Amino acid sequence: MTYSEIEQQTIAIVDKQLDAYNNRDIDAFAATYHDDVEIHAFPGGLQYQGKDELIKRYGAKFASLVYLNATSLNRIVNGSFLVDKERASSASQDPNIIDTDVVVIASYQIEDGLIKRVSFMRD
């Protein structure tokens, strides 16, 4: 499949975000997000907004875990929109003992080269 330039940029910023997430690097992670980012959970709607809140929440999560890994299982890209089916695993004590393993749908909207809106859907 051939992606347009916009789609390639969309893929690149989401992949950069996933890499930073997996490395538990809050600075690199936050750098992929728009200052006014919106985080939504379906069907509940807006959970929080703004990069400062994102740093607060994910910074605490990154600090509390010894292992964190998210991978894209399936991906759809259309312009500045990307939808991933992602598996996220984490460990809080021993990196060889997974505490949490979830599969979610994550919908990303890119604006000005940064992630502006994310919607998470899960059972």
Residues 13-26: tens digit of each pLDDT: 999 999 999 999 99
d(CA 37, CA 24): 19
Q: Report how far Cα 48 is from the mean position of its chain's Cα atoms.
A: 14
Q: Which tokens belong to 89?
A: 């695993």
Domains of the chain as residue ranges with CATH:
5-121 (3.10.450.50)
User: Residue 63: which pLDDT band, with cuts at 50, 70 and 90?
Assistant: very high
d(CA 63, CA 108): 24
User: Residue 123: which pLDDT band, with cuts at 50, 70 and 90?
Assistant: confident
Residues 2-13: tens digit of each pLDDT: 899 999 999 999
Total length of the chain: 123
Write down the pTM of the prediction: 0.94
User: Residue 119: which pLDDT band, with cuts at 50, 70 and 90?
Assistant: very high
Q: Report how far Cα 87 is from the mean position of its chain's Cα atoms.
A: 11
